[in-house]
Amino acid sequence: MSRPLLVYDGQRDIFRRVADGVTSLIGDVQPIPWESARVQQFLDAQFGEKAFVFMIVEDEYVHVGDRAVQRLGELSELSAGLINTLSLIYPSVAGPFGLIVHGNKPSDIHGSFELHPTAQEIIAPLRSPTEIPLTTKHGESTDTWVSVPDERAICLAYNYIDISLHVHAEKFRGSFRFVVQLPGSHIV
């Protein structure tokens, strides 16, 4: 199964929380910080640079900038009018917002692009979860399993370890995320 990825600025806790909140409402979209080494390799292969962009990788495409806003709105089942408004204003507010809030101006890249074969190969492990069946303490099988996206389960960036687990059980389906601060560091 190949899950869409939402790439977000993981430098600050608020953006991590927003990405988790949005993706938990949508379903099988995986949030991944822009700062991860694999995303940086992907950006180099796809765009020839480490573009600072808001992006969704879905199927055989990467949606960037205003098109990522539009696609996220569609996945969230927002009204068409709201999606159009957000998509139209994104290009003009992204630069100033990026500089003020992120400390970095987003690259001026907008649209949907076919995945470059090398970029697709780089990002594939992040899009394919590993399912781990759970058993009872007595070793009996259950209908419960944990889904851990490869390399996304533990992401080290900015002196924290980010662990995400997606649990599927008979009466429960949800995500748990733990951010562990490394000794001698602080979470921004």
pLDDT string in tens for the chain (188-residue length): 477 888 888 777 777 777 777 777 777 788 888 888 889 999 999 999 888 888 999 999 999 999 999 998 998 888 999 999 989 998 888 888 878 877 778 888 899 999 999 999 998 888 876 555 555 556 665 555 555 554 444 444 444 455 555 555 555 555 555 555 555 544 43
CA distances to 73, 103, 125, 155 from 2, rounded to whole Å, are 20, 32, 9, 19
For residue 186, being part of any structural domain is answered with: no
Per the structure, how many domains does the chain have? 1
For residue 188, being part of any structural domain is answered with: no
Question: How many other CB atoms sit within 10 Å of the CB of residue 51?
Answer: 17
- 135 forms beta bridges with 141
pTM for the full model?
Answer: 0.68
For residue 177, being part of any structural domain is answered with: yes
What domain range is 57 assigned to? Answer: 5-181
For residue 167, being part of any structural domain is answered with: yes
